[in-house]
Amino acid sequence: MKAVVWMGKKDMRVENMPDPVLLSKKDIIVQVSSTAICGSDLHLYNGHIPTMKEYDIMGHEFMGEVVEVGAEVKNFRKGDRVIIPFPIACGCCHFCSFGMTSACDNSNPNAGQTEEAMSQTGAAIYGYSHLFGGYDGGQAEYARVPFADANAFK
């Protein structure tokens, strides 16, 4: 698939990348139809956010059509149109149970690094630095959505 990738400060390119695959029974794969460039993407472009790596797929605001569904996903079927917000939430932790998904305890595998660098933790974010999980973003033809029942909306 084609995707916008970060290659270094002020260097983003469209490159061929592997299609995403389901990594969990709770994931979906979305064929992206629309994506946005957010003002915070400029922080990445200008090199102000640490821990970006070459070929990281950009984009934390996207929508599209569900093309693959994990076995434990309850709310989505192939063909559903969905919008994906930027934080990645587990849907089950203390913060998620109170609707504070941007503070999810479980979605960011690099939360310790985030706390060290920023004096706080937070949820993972699509396409926004390995401090926030290193998840591929939505400026691509396809995107994997982890914890789909908590992170996609019809």
Q: pLDDT, tens digit, for every residue of 81-100?
A: 999 998 999 999 999 999 99
Closest CA to 123 of 84, 83, 87, 86: 87
Integer Cα distance of 29 and 50 in angstroms: 27
In the block, tokens 């993407």 appear at: 41
In the block, tokens 């957010």 appear at: 38
CA angle, residues 132, 136, 141, in degrees to nearest 5: 150
Q: pLDDT, tens digit, for every residue of 142-152?
A: 999 999 999 99
Q: Which CATH superfamily is domain 2-151 in?
A: Medium-chain alcohol dehydrogenases, catalytic domain (3.90.180.10)
Beta sheet of 56-57, edge-to-edge order: 11-16, 2-8, 56-57
Q: pLDDT, tens digit, for every residue of 97-132?
A: 999 998 898 887 665 666 666 556 678 889 988 878
